[in-house]
Amino acid sequence: MAATRRCFCAASALVLAGCAGTRSNPPAGAIAQLGATGKLRAAINFGNPILASRGPGGEPRGVSVDLAREAARRLGLAVELVQFNSAGNVVEAVKAQQVDLAFVAIDPVRAADMEYTAPYVIIEGAYLVRNGSPLQGNAEVDRTGTRVVVGHGSAYDLFLTRALKAATLVRAPTSPEVTNMFLAQNLEVAAGVKQQLEADAKRVGGVRLLPGRFMVIEQAMGVPKGRTAAQAWLSGFIEEMKASGFVADALRRHGIEGAAVAPRSSAANRT
């Protein structure tokens, strides 16, 4: 976790500068970097139900959608919600500068290609097994012969690639496909967002979640590498959104359970 926190320490150092621009007029540099095409292109990932889902008419909704729209409003920009089904595809779009803003889990690998704010939401990663599985706890998963399916390029994929020493990772194209692949290929464990796996367990039956969590995921706003003016403004923006209750209200409004608003960053606490 210490390595993870180092990924956004630079963002925390920029909070003071960002807050001033957030509460008044955003600085010209931030507007230029976030609206280079004349609009704010925000990546919305439907692969993480904590962040976004589709409404009855297919329209994007969720805490990330609300934050993107509020940021665009304050910047005086139109917003374009660029839709994705996996975190891996979102990261590639950020690297290619096809989007101006993304909502992603903080990870040291991703830090090579993007600038982070401090986290705004903390969620949990969980394991899913069949009811008859001998596995009873998270610590039992990392054993030879255990195959763990995970969404390709997701925060869970990145974390487990580093953490697992004996078990084998199997990658599904996207996180929403993990449980179906777990069942179809008769794999031992599925890994992903706890809420997604809970919903899948109700949908398919005959499976259970292992108690607790195997990781904590810190969700932040990210921009392409080098866009430090955008990072500074967004760092102040996200602290304000947490402190004002905006993030908590969005989670409640969209019926999201099991996710917590991240604490204020250390730099914000010193203001």
**Do the Cβ atoms of 77 and 34 come closer than 8 Å?**
yes
Q: Concatenated DSSP letters for 2-71?
A: HHHHHTTHHHHHTHHHHHHHHHSSPPHHHHHHH-TTSEEEEEEETT-TTT-EE-TTS-EESHHHHHHHHH
pLDDT of residue 13 exceeding 90, the answer is no
Same structural domain for residues 53 and 178?
no
Nearest of 174, 167, 172 to residue 182 by alpha carbon: 172
Kindly state whether residue 269 falls inside one of the protein's structural domains: no
Which element (helix H / strand E) includes 209? Answer: strand 207-209
Please state, as a whole number, how many other Cβ atoms lie within 10 Å of the Cβ of residue 73: 12
Same structural domain for residues 107 and 226?
yes
Give the whole-angstrom CA distance, residue 53 versus residue 269: 32
Q: Which pLDDT value is given to residue 54?
A: 94
Please give the residue range of the domain that contains residue 235.
Answer: 2-121+218-263
Q: Could you tell me the CA-to-CA distances from 227 to 17, 22, 136, 224 in Å, in that order?
A: 14, 16, 45, 6
Same structural domain for residues 104 and 230?
yes
Same structural domain for residues 233 and 100?
yes
Nearest of 10, 234, 222, 220 to residue 101 by alpha carbon: 222
Q: Which pLDDT value is given to residue 243?
A: 97
Nearest of 71, 93, 115 to residue 63 by alpha carbon: 71
Please state, as a whole number, how many other Cβ atoms lie within 10 Å of the Cβ of residue 105: 29
What would the pLDDT profile of 41-57 be if each residue is shown by its tens digit? 999 999 888 899 999 99
Same structural domain for residues 29 and 110?
yes
Q: How many domains does the chain have?
A: 2
pLDDT of residue 4 exceeding 60, the answer is no
Q: Which pLDDT value is given to residue 270?
A: 44
What would the pLDDT profile of 135-157 be if each residue is shown by its tens digit? 999 999 999 999 999 999 888 99
Q: Which pLDDT value is given to residue 2?
A: 42
Torsion of CA 158, 163, 165, 167, to 10 degrees: -60
Same structural domain for residues 141 and 152?
yes
Confidence of residue 18 (pLDDT cuts 50, 70, 90): very low
Return the CATH number at 132: 3.40.190.10
Same structural domain for residues 211 and 94?
no
Same structural domain for residues 14 and 70?
yes
In the structure encoding, which two tokens stand for residue 193, read together? Answer: 């967002």
Same structural domain for residues 166 and 188?
yes
Torsion of CA 58, 195, 218, 1, to 10 degrees: -150
Q: Which pLDDT value is given to residue 108?
A: 87
Q: Which pLDDT value is given to residue 24?
A: 55
Nearest of 224, 184, 231 to residue 204 by alpha carbon: 184
pLDDT of residue 9 exceeding 80, the answer is no
pLDDT of residue 132 exceeding 80, the answer is yes
Same structural domain for residues 134 and 206?
yes
Least confident range from 111-115, 180-184, 235-239, 242-246: namely: 111-115
Same structural domain for residues 258 and 207?
no
pLDDT of residue 17 exceeding 80, the answer is no
pLDDT of residue 15 exceeding 70, the answer is no
Same structural domain for residues 114 and 9?
yes
Q: Concatenated DSSP letters for 163-194?
A: H-SSSEEEEESSGGGHHHHHHHTT-SEEEEEH
In the structure encoding, which two tokens stand for residue 104, read together? Answer: 């992603």
Sign of CA dihedral 260, 42, 226, 154: positive
What would the pLDDT profile of 65-114 be if each residue is shown by its tens digit? 999 999 999 999 999 999 999 888 999 999 999 999 999 999 888 888 99
Kindly state whether residue 61 falls inside one of the protein's structural domains: yes
Its pTM stands at 0.76
